[in-house]
């Protein structure tokens, strides 16, 4: 949304926006209540979502997590919490570009340096499977694109 507003501002400098240029705003406003509801449910259930994610992640028996000990587990807990929060915010404001181009590229660099790309494919897929437990199908449709961007960018 913020990226789209910036683009609209640049594209329409000195003129009125056309109906087609305003379409993103109408679509966003139509989904505002659903976005807020999904955001609040994720926020209010964050601890449960993360606990479910950790349980599922531990079932993977990934060597990175098994050999990393307590430090890696605390680090992954922190990281998935930040990514969940940023994803929920991106969904709320409908701005996946900012999510991808900002935080995810930075995290991707760290993952590559640590050799975590292989396990990233699965750990972010797990989050996509857990979220529908806490949201309605309509709300899930709004957050899934952000979660899919996480998986795609962080698995490269």
pTM over 0.95: no
The reported pLDDT for the residue numbered 52 is: 96
Six-digit token string for 35: 């976005």
* Ramachandran region, residue 61 (left: φ > 0; alpha: ψ -120 to 50; beta: rest): left
Low-confidence stretches of the chain (pLDDT beneath 50): none
Q: Judge if 12 and 40 occupy the same domain.
A: no
The reported pLDDT for the residue numbered 94 is: 92
The reported pLDDT for the residue numbered 108 is: 78
* CATH number of the domain residue 62 falls in: 1.10.490.20
Q: How far apart are CA 6 and CA 9, in angstroms?
A: 5
How many domains are contained in the chain?
2
Q: Judge if 68 and 105 occupy the same domain.
A: yes
Q: Judge if 93 and 116 occupy the same domain.
A: yes
What is the extent of the structural domain holding 1?
1-30
Residue indicated by tokens 């640590």: 114
Q: Judge if 96 and 133 occupy the same domain.
A: yes
Q: Judge if 114 and 87 occupy the same domain.
A: yes
The reported pLDDT for the residue numbered 120 is: 67
Q: Judge if 20 and 61 occupy the same domain.
A: no
CB 152: neighbour CB atoms within 10 A? 14
The reported pLDDT for the residue numbered 71 is: 63
Q: How far apart are CA 31 and CA 34, in angstroms?
A: 5
Contacting residues for 87 by C-beta, under 8 A, at least 6 apart = 99, 143, 146, 147, 150
Residue indicated by tokens 């404001």: 93
Q: Judge if 75 and 132 occupy the same domain.
A: yes
């Amino acid at each position: 949304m913020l990226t789209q507003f910036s683009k609209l501002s640049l594209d329409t400098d000195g003129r009125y926006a056309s109906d087609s240029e305003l379409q993103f705003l109408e679509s966003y406003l139509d989904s505002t209540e659903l976005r807020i509801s999904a955001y609040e449910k994720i926020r209010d259930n964050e601890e449960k979502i993360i606990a479910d994610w950790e349980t599922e992640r531990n079932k993977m028996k990934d060597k990175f997590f098994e050999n990393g000990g307590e430090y890696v587990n605390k680090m992954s807990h922190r990281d998935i919490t930040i990514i969940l929060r940023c994803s929920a915010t991106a969904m709320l404001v409908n701005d996946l570009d900012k999510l991808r181009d900002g935080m995810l590229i930075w995290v991707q660099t760290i993952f590559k340096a640590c050799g975590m790309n292989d396990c990233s494919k699965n750990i972010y897929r797990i989050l996509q499977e857990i979220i529908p437990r806490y949201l309605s199908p309509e709300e899930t449709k709004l957050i899934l694109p952000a979660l899919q961007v996480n998986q795609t960018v962080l698995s490269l």
